Amino acid sequence: MYYLSTDYSMTWNHAFPMGLKKLYLNSVPFPWENMNIIGWLPDLHVLQMTAIRVNKTSEWRTEEGQFLQLKYFHSSLDYVSKWEMEKEHFPCLESLIIDRAIWIYKFPSGVGEIDSLQYIELKDCQQSLVDSAKQIQKNQHENGNNAFRVRVIDYKGEDVLF
């Protein structure tokens, strides 16, 4: 496990051990353009990125061969205005938790096509992102994945049922 929550800058291309299984980034300056560094970690199963300090909106594009073992992703998607990915980029993802994402308005279509995905949780997010998650749930259920569920928590910390 590797946990980083300090205020100093790192040489990101040499920061993480290749055998890393869990990575927690909290309140660090980490531009989304550097996500490829994390995406290529071959054994990463858990990634939590919250309060990432960047100063400009960004687009995040994953690439084929990245995040191949990732099962759990929790992020606030700070300043991500557009996320592009294909289901092959997260073939093992089971849980996706998005926390207070205010810049992104919908999930990429590839999220709804991930066969292993069982759970999306949204905490205090834009209504359009909630609607996008509802559509993913509908599609998953139509495709026979009745175990798939979406949980929405509003800004007061209360579950919103739909």
Of 17, 68, 64, 24, nearest in space to 42 by CA:
68
81 vs 8, higher pLDDT:
81
Q: Give the pLDDT confidence of 33-83 residue by residue, as tens digits.
A: 888 889 999 999 999 998 887 777 788 899 999 999 999 999 988 888 888
Instruction: Give the pLDDT mean for 142-160.
Output: 84
CA-only gyration radius of the chain, Å: 15
> Which residue stretches of the chain are H helix?
35-39, 109-112, 127-142
pLDDT attached to residue 7:
46
* Token reading at 152: 């929405």
Q: How many domains does the chain have?
A: 1
Question: Quick check: 5 pLDDT over 70?
Answer: no
SS3 label, residue 39 = helix
**Domain range enclosing 9:** 2-160
Q: Give the pLDDT confidence of 103-140 residue by residue, as tens digits.
A: 888 999 899 999 999 999 999 998 999 999 999 999 99
Question: Quick check: 84 pLDDT over 80?
Answer: yes
CATH of the domain at 62: 3.80.10
